[in-house]
């Protein structure tokens, strides 16, 4: 027998904060309810599409040069691939559309995974050209953080609460404002951005961002578990998988940046 309830608001992932989604998580569906297995399968599907599109984006960014062209040594040329900025705008639009229309997550989520994968593949190739092996390390670190977050949540060492969700939301809001401020400084080419002091600050902020991403994962898990216990409608499996994918993309990019900063240091 299922009961209604209110899931913990996912403070860090806007995909779970929509009123319609919150209401759906708290409303049982006696016909077809969501399950952990269903969310897992759909998350793996999204990630598979993401990775395949990422390989395409990587290959579109990297142009291997022949050994003869570089005096006997193999090399690669990195360039922004065709349609990169168009794909970025389209991915942003697909993400907004999915958040506004959560029931469409099966289709719009796949489109988002396809577009975002292409973008991530290109960005990853650019990072790897500067530091060989950094992408593999970032992927491994992302997987490790995911499983550690899952274990901490499953063992209740980390217990998601409403206060924790509020704290994560507030911290992410502050982080977003800070990134915006730094972006403004970059436009005016402020010299402080290139100093050793700012690099140290950037390292600390990036570490904090990784922690926030890990906490967001635990909030994702809490929302999904609440929906399963309530017997929430099955379409939430697609939307939950989409939400997890968004968090994992953010975590991967943050870890990639962290490793790049550590390598420069």
Which residue numbers in the chain have pLDDT < 50? 1-6, 66-67, 69-73
d(CA 202, CA 56): 31
- What's residue 118's pLDDT? 96
- What's residue 93's pLDDT? 95
- What's residue 6's pLDDT? 47
Query: Alpha helices of the chain — where are they, by DSSP H?
Result: 19-25, 36-61, 84-100, 105-130, 134-154, 162-187, 196-230, 236-264
In the block, residue with structure tokens 């992932």:
13
Q: Which residues of 9-29 are buried (b: 16+ CB within 10 A; e: fewer)?
A: bbbbbbbbbbeebbebbbbbb
Read off the pLDDT of residues 186-243 as tens digits, 9 standing for 90 and up.
766 666 655 666 677 778 888 888 998 999 999 889 888 888 888 888 989 999 999 9
- What's residue 114's pLDDT? 97
- What's residue 5's pLDDT? 47
- What's residue 14's pLDDT? 60
Two tokens, residue 239: 């939307």
Please check whether residue 90 is in contact with residue 223, taking contact to mean a CB–CB distance below 8 angstroms: no
Say if residue 57 is exposed, middle or buried (CB neighbours under 10 Å; 0-12, 13-18, 19+).
Answer: buried
Please check whether residue 49 is in contact with residue 43, taking contact to mean a CB–CB distance below 8 angstroms: no
Two tokens, residue 243: 């939400």
In the block, residue with structure tokens 């990422």:
54
Please check whether residue 234 is in contact with residue 34, taking contact to mean a CB–CB distance below 8 angstroms: yes
Domains of the chain, by residue range, sit at: 14-264
- What's residue 87's pLDDT? 94
- What's residue 49's pLDDT? 97
């Amino acid at each position: 027998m299922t009961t209604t309830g209110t899931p913990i608001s996912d403070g860090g992932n806007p995909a779970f904060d929509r009123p319609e989604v919150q209401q759906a998580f708290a409303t049982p569906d006696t016909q077809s309810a969501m399950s952990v297995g269903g969310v897992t399968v759909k998350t793996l599907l999204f990630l598979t599409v993401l990775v395949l599109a990422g390989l395409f984006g990587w290959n579109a960014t990297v142009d291997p040069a022949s050994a003869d062209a570089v005096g006997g040594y193999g090399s690669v040329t990195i360039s922004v691939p065709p349609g990169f900025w168009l794909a970025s705008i389209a991915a942003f639009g697909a993400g907004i559309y999915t958040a506004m229309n959560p029931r469409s997550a099966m289709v719009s989520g796949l489109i988002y995974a396809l577009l975002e994968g292409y973008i991530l593949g290109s960005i990853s190739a650019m990072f790897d050209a500067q530091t060989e092996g950094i992408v593999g390390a970032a992927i491994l670190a992302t997987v490790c953080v995911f499983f550690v977050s899952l274990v901490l949540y499953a063992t209740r060492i980390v217990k998601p609460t409403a206060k924790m969700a509020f704290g994560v939301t507030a911290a992410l809001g502050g982080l977003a404002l800070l990134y915006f401020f730094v972006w403004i400084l970059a436009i005016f080419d402020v010299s402080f951005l290139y100093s050793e002091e700012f690099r140290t600050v950037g390292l600390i902020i990036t570490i904090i961002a990784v922690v926030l991403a890990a906490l967001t994962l635990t909030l994702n898990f809490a929302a999904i578990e609440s929906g399963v216990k309530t017997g929430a409608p099955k379409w939430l499996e697609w939307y939950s998988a989409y939400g997890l994918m968004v968090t994992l993309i953010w975590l991967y990019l943050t870890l990639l940046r962290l490793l790049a900063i550590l390598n420069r240091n």
